Structure 1
Amino acid sequence: MALRNEFIKQIYNPHRHATGEGGVLFDPGHQRYMTMSNSRYLFFKPTPKTSFLGLTFFLVPFVASLLYMVNWKEREEHRLSTGQVAYKDRWNKFL
C-alpha cells in the first residue's frame, strides 16, 4: 500500500516537469512486463501441451469450417444441378 501511495503521489505531481524529468514516470515493474511481452516469442519452447493447444484452437476449427463449407457447396451444387431448386428461388441468380 505504501508503494502504491508513493506511485500515485509521483504520477500526479504537478511540479514534475519543472525538475527536468518530464514525460512519464518510469516504473521498473511495468518496464519488465513490457520487455517480457515483447520478447516472449524469442524464449518460446514448444512442448506437447503447447502443440496440443495450437492444434485444438487453430488447426481443428480451420479444418472443420473448411470441411463444412466444402460439404455445403457440394450439397448446394447437387440441388441446383438436379433441378430441385427453381430458377426464381436460387440465391445466386444475380451473380
Structure 2
Amino acid sequence: MQLEIRNYYEVLLMEILRDEGLMEELPEDYLADLSCVTLNQLPVRYIRHLVDTYFFEDYNELQQMKNEIYAALEKSRAFLKANLQKTLEEQSEVE
C-alpha cells in the first residue's frame, strides 16, 4: 500500500520556484540543493489532497507560509553562496 501524502511546504516552494522562473534558470543540482536547504528550515505540514488544502486554507495562513518560504530561500541562497565561495577558495589553495 502506498499512501498519497505530501509536505505542503514542498508544494508551495516548487510553485514559488516555478513562478519566479528559477526552475528554468538554475541548474538542476543547484535547485535540488537550494530546495533541500530551504525545506530543512521550515516546519512540515503534511496533506493528503492538494485540492482540499486549496479549498480549506486560510488566506492569511497561506501568506504566512509563503513569507516563511521566501525568508528561508533568502537564507539558503546566502548559505549556498558562502559555501561555494569557501569551496572555490579551498580549490585555489590546492592548485
Q: TM-score, normalised on structure 2?
A: 0.34
Higher relative contact order (CA 8 A, sep 6+): 2
Kindly indicate which of the two structures has a greater share of residues assigned to helix: 2
Q: TM-score, normalised on structure 1?
A: 0.34
Kindly indicate which of the two structures has a greater share of residues assigned to strand: 2
Rg larger in structure: 1
